[in-house]
Structure 1
Amino acid sequence: MTVEECEEPKRRSRQKRVGDALRRDTRNRLLEAAEEEFAARGYTRATVTRIASAADVSVQTLYLAWGSKRALLRAYMEKSLTGSATSPEDAISRFVGMPPRERLAELADLVAEIAERAATGWRLYRDAAAVDPEIAADWDELQLLRHRLFTRVLDDIPVTALADGLTPKAAIDTAWTIASPDSYDLLVHRLGYEPGEFRDWMQNTLTAAILAPRTGTDTPA
């Protein structure tokens, strides 16, 4: 085997790494441009032409990188939900072994943190779902995913800790409803709650709706 033949796999490997890096950069620039376009104009009035132009690529490159405007919206929503600090599994693991009241306080913290970051994305998705059947299906999937996450957080709270007559399933459904994106939109965007006020409202409302009142013999959780 010649020297040139030995070097060929290395050259191809370097080219692949460079190509992969360029593709990631293009996808990231398009996603950032889409975020600005969606936030400024909403999903329906956003155009792939403006998104591509803002990212300094062609419309064809946008479609090669993402496939559709809908895919960009989904990626924007997922980025807003997950953030950069922790994975969904890490977020769930922090609740393991927590007493019920402490768990609901921690859940209020998580909901407030995600809502502040993802509020625009939720609103975009909700509005787009009204005019696009495929986004409507995505919206339903995201809502069910949120329900499954609440189930994992709350399903092992002892029945004896729940409000009188409340079943574990009803407790999960109640928390899922109270801690909805609509609650954040109504209280923060329409009534002017500060993020900290929203977080406190969330903790107090979840606790009152889900847990049995403390008795004189209870120890703080």
Structure 2
Amino acid sequence: MSVKRSYSSARRDAQARETRRSILDAAGLLFIAHGYAATTLQAIADQAGVAVQTVYAAFGSKRELMRQLIEATIAGDDNPGPVTEQAEAKGVAAEPDVRRRAELDAALARAIVQRVGPIVRVAEEAAASDPELATMMEKIKAARRDEMLVSARQLAGPEGLRLDPDEAAATLYVLYSPHVADMLMRDHGWSPQRYQAWLARMLLETVLGTAPHDRA
């Protein structure tokens, strides 16, 4: 009986994760297509193929759904945790070659900003007229700033940082920003590959203090 209960529980958990993922996917699609204010929880439920009560039970409110959507999109996972705890970030930290470490970190950052950029634009536009959503976005930004200290330590490697940790974290906060990516890829028309190469170079020159053609 204990084996059957364990199997049933695991199956329910998997179904709950699948439902949550469907709701997040539906919300992302509709928020980007129609905006935050114009998208109702009923529309999200219809898109996801679930009852609106299921959306309320899983997220509680549209604002909380947006928060979890941003976090899940940053992480690229439906059970998000800090990016610095994921395998890709740990792979960056483990890379012994400084140039390769910057390249890996730039590739990871590019993947994140390309995923989350459209959602962040929607959320920030809506936050301009929604004080509670604006407060939520400030909390997300504060958590991101805190995570930059961990990112700086992971990026440092055996060579260390050119800047003190706080300044390195602030620099990464700017370099990793979706707004910077937008200015280069949307406004200037850079390809994602060019943006990634630029970011790796900036990491080497400003945070790690290593010229692009130096060897570790």
Identity fraction in percent: 30
Decide which of 96, 103, 118 is 1:105's aligned counterpart.
Answer: 103
Decide which of 184, 203, 207 is 1:206's aligned counterpart.
Answer: 203
Check the 8 A contact 1:115/1:184 in 2, yes or no: yes
Q: Which range moves more in the overlay, 38-47 or 135-144?
A: 135-144
Distance 1:105 1:12, change over 3 A: closer
Q: Say whether residues 1:140 and 2:138 are aligned partners.
A: yes
TM-score, normalised with respect to structure 2: 0.77
Cα shift at 1:184: 0.9
Cα shift at 1:185: 1.3
In the TM superposition, structure 1's runs of 4+ consecutive aligned residues that sit over 6 Å from their partners are 9-15
Decide which of 108, 123, 126 is 2:124's aligned counterpart.
Answer: 126
Check the 8 A contact 2:161/2:208 in 1, yes or no: yes
1:172 aligned residue: 169
Cα shift at 1:66: 2.2
Superposed counterparts of 1:32-111, under 5 Å: 32-84=25-77, 88=83, 89=85, 90-96=87-93, 98-111=96-109
Distance 1:152 1:67 in 2: 31
CA RMSD of aligned residues (A): 3.4
Distance 1:95 1:13 in 2: 37
1:114 aligned residue: 112
5+ residue gaps, structure 1: 1-6
Cα shift at 1:28: 3.1
* Equivalent AA in structure 2 for residue 145 of structure 1: A
Distance 2:172 2:124 in 1: 20
Distance 1:100 1:142, change over 3 A: farther
Q: Secondary structure at the match of 1:43?
A: coil
Decide which of 161, 182, 186 is 1:185's aligned counterpart.
Answer: 182
Check the 8 A contact 1:77/1:122 in 2, yes or no: yes
| Cα deviation digits, residues 27-86 of structure 1 (max 9, x gap) | 333222212111101212211222122233333332223211112212221221111499
Larger radius of gyration: 1
Q: How many residues align?
A: 209
